[in-house]
Chain A
């Protein structure tokens, strides 16, 4: 004979399941169409436990809360059988729902999928598509168990839903917060998933015990509440215990198998040392490498560098030190901010003695603040803070922090009306104001000099990754400016050198042959073209780039050019690029390194890439080009195509490049190694290798 619950569950779920699967599929497709996969994918993680909890709540709500189970019990049935049948049907339903969501999200991948995965990696660093299914099922299991338990314990739908919400949100969040407050650490995502699995099993066991003990003809409130409270207590204890175990024995990846690479590098002038950090969104690890690429100091976990590489080394010959931020991986930083935890710490570590000095990092707490320069021979740090001036541009402040005491001195640079600011190397701040004017503020004397810029000229203060942040200012207070031109013979731009003191203008580059733009378009400002420039740290080279249509492919390409300022000679840097990400001159500026990372959009346009489909969802390419900047112009001396987006490169010395080499992923996590490229010998060597 067939258990009656099998037939009733079959009749209940056959259409309900189909409708649910279809509904979820359509909802996710709709969300993707409206908001893109980047938004939809994380949203699924919220949706899954709620949907699964509601399914289980609904499946037993009919039976218990409406009393239908009493009709079932009048038949010769096994109670345990009812529970098992319902569980099995629920699990099948959950799997089908998860599958439909998976198909809705990944059957027709778009260029947004990589963004979505990156967002997800804030929560689950080891998320890739196959493990994603496991994570979904874990969440689904927990949600389902919560719904089951709630309906077993409560006699009304309202109270069951209330309990469900608390078990889904309040208790895990409270445990998480408690662990954070007590230990100051955050459990790893894989630990959280494991903990939720154990908690789910505990709740399922609780639901079984409550189901077996609950006679629908005889309400025994004390017994029900007692058992329910007991199992909630057990579940909370399990959550706490598993979290404590996770914190005590973290499953953080050891060196050699860190996940997502975060690039931050710096070289110490004169000593040819480089600091390299790599890590996940949860954890980072720092190393100091010598010029030949060997690891001199292992800085350990929790190391990330400030954005500007010029800040990494303290400029003092007597006691050179490295500066880094402790425990400031992106997710930790975000959680610290959200939880109101202590600020991150700036650490100054002496290279000779290893002694460390810690001061609070001012960039904490959502302030728009960036450290920019060392001051007073390494005794103070200068940073810039900007605040919205309510429609009057930005207000700018300079903050100077004493490294020994942490004391901060604040100087107001502009009370509104500013567009951008940048530090110069001589205790002065360069300020771009609304109205095409610039100002230079001397922090020592407190004086401010204002200058008008030529009409149509624009100062480029865009940050170049891997390069020192500085305004395009040469010695003698000459600025390098980009100026758009609309003349009878064409639309274009020129790059000028403008002397702030005398007002003299020298045209360095004059381009008015951008055929895709007409005078009419330019007059109506309908055809803005992208043009930018970057002045090398010594002021010997100017790199500028402009976006033009590709000659044969049709897509827009960025053509880069190199201008040698000593003789005003321009060289083209072939080939054209869709975009570039890093532009780093070597210390002597005899070499130039350009890293171009291709994104999904570009990949989709390049049909000739044979493995595009295989790598579509997980990776992209990083193209490294190295130019030798000899007297006869730049020559490409090294090219490498790394089939991974996460490659990161930096100069060790004039002949050596260090880079992080992601190896791929396996069941234990993501692997990466530190490698060096010897340009003279043409060899590559692994410095910090995976076991």
Chain B
């Protein structure tokens, strides 16, 4: 079955419950392959942390979702709409926070929000003004007169003030000082608390994600290598280290396996179910000193998924 048919089938079987559905997405820039068969499934109302190293393909994926870039292969759907065909409709229903792009330097904030009010039918002026007051934004100042953190807040308000059904936030905290970063995260939390919006929040800062996300997707080299909800990660995920083990993963654990890696003197296995019967039996069969089972931190989880190790390694990029 092709990817397009697969999506159609999924929508039919789930009753169109997925806000974002991506299957087999591939995007190349010349010889560089940015996305390599990416699959994403995002439920309505969720706040999904979209994490990955620099160059993993997060921004490219978001640009494809917004219809800025056509996919080379695969299919993309937001609320059942195809970005290639329905880009304007998607941009009406989606608020986008671009990482690098920003409004004209010379424009005043009030004029910028006037542009938003003239463009979007559902623009909420009172919400806009309230958020500006709350986060100390002077509407008479020009973009070039604002700090980086203030510009990020303005962009966030611009993305949110037309009451979008979905928010795509492309690294909103990157490059901000701790204080601005804290403000922006607090702003996102405030917005999420007051209104349930499907949010895809890309970052390579795991602390940011841990604070606000309900779901997590890890992208590595253009592929989604892990997806799951945060509660399940914290309560069920198991990182198993077996000293001296050089063989394959036992077949009893294979159904629970997310990823395995072989170290010089041990094997590491990431399992979905920490309390499974198979894991308990495996521990009984082996020396307890040789088998260590623990709940991975987000950092450990990310490092293991992206590099197969629990310590940071030198990055190629």
Contact = CB atoms under 8 A, between A and B. Distances in A.
Interface of A: 1-4, 6-8, 11-12, 62, 66-68, 70-71, 73-78, 215, 217-218
Most buried by B among A8, A66, A77: A8
B118 A4 contact: yes
A2 B123 CA distance: 13
A74 B69 contact: no
A8 B101 contact: no
Contacts of A8: 104, 107, 115
A218 B29 contact: yes
A96 B192 CA distance: 49
B85 interface: no
A217 B111 contact: no
B66 A74 contact: yes
Contacts of A77: 88, 119
Contacts of B105: 62, 66
Contact of A7 (B29, B63, B115): B115
Contacts of B101: 67-68, 70-71, 74
A73 B98 CA distance: 11
Dominant SS at the A interface? Answer: mixed
B104 A7 contact: no
Interface string B267-283: 00000000000000000
A626 B137 CA distance: 86
B111 A11 contact: yes
Interface in B172-212: none
28 contacts: A1-B119, A1-B120, A2-B118, A2-B119, A6-B118, A7-B118, A8-B104, A8-B107, A12-B104, A12-B107, A62-B104, A62-B105, A66-B105, A67-B100, A68-B103, A68-B104, A71-B98, A71-B101, A71-B102, A74-B66, A74-B91, A74-B98, A74-B101, A75-B91, A75-B119, A75-B120, A76-B91, A215-B68
A442 B133 CA distance: 101
Contacts of B107: 8, 11-12
A77 B92 CA distance: 9
B114 interface: yes
A68 B102 contact: yes
B28 to A, nearest CB: 11
A314 B66 CA distance: 86
Interface of B: 29, 63, 66, 68-69, 88-89, 91-92, 96, 98, 100-108, 111, 114-116, 118-121
Nearest to A75: B119
Contacts of B66: 74
B114 A7 contact: yes
Nearest to A219: B29
Contacts of A76: 88-89, 91-92, 119-120
A218 B28 CA distance: 10
Contacts of A74: 66, 91, 96, 98, 101
B155 to A, nearest CB: 8
A78 B114 CA distance: 18
A143 B104 CA distance: 25
A4 B119 contact: yes
B215 to A, nearest CB: 24
Contacts of B106: 11-12
A77 B69 CA distance: 16
A3 B88 CA distance: 13
A214 to B, nearest CB: 13
Contact of A218 (B69, B96, B100, B108): B69
Nearest to B114: A7
B79 to A, nearest CB: 14
Given A67-B101, A68-B101, A75-B91, A217 B118 contact: no
A192 B66 CA distance: 47
Given A75-B116, A75-B119, 12 more contacts: A1-B119, A2-B118, A2-B119, A8-B115, A71-B102, A74-B96, A74-B101, A75-B120, A76-B91, A215-B69, A217-B63, A217-B69
Nearest to B103: A71
Contacts of B103: 68, 71
Contacts of A66: 105
A218 B64 CA distance: 11
B301 to A, nearest CB: 31
Nearest to A74: B96
B68 A73 contact: yes
B67 to A, nearest CB: 9
B104 A70 contact: no
A297 B112 CA distance: 75
Nearest to B118: A2
A323 B33 CA distance: 80
A1 B121 contact: yes
A289 B98 CA distance: 82
B121 to A, nearest CB: 6
Contacts of B98: 70-71, 74
A68 B91 CA distance: 17
A570 B68 CA distance: 95
A74 B69 CA distance: 12
A217 B68 CA distance: 7
Contacts of A71: 98, 101-104
A77 B108 CA distance: 21
A215 B105 CA distance: 22
B212 to A, nearest CB: 22
Contacts of A68: 101-104
A213 to B, nearest CB: 13
A3 B121 CA distance: 12
A221 to B, nearest CB: 10
A74 B121 CA distance: 15
A4 B92 CA distance: 13
B100 to A, nearest CB: 7
A70 B115 CA distance: 15
Interchain residue pairs A-B with the least CB separation, the first 8: A2-B118, A70-B101, A76-B91, A76-B88, A217-B68, A74-B96, A71-B101, A4-B119
A1 B118 contact: yes
B217 to A, nearest CB: 22
A283 to B, nearest CB: 51
Nearest to B92: A76
Contacts of A215: 68-69
A78 B87 CA distance: 10
Contacts of A1: 118-121
Nearest to B88: A76
Contacts of B92: 76
A1 B120 CA distance: 7
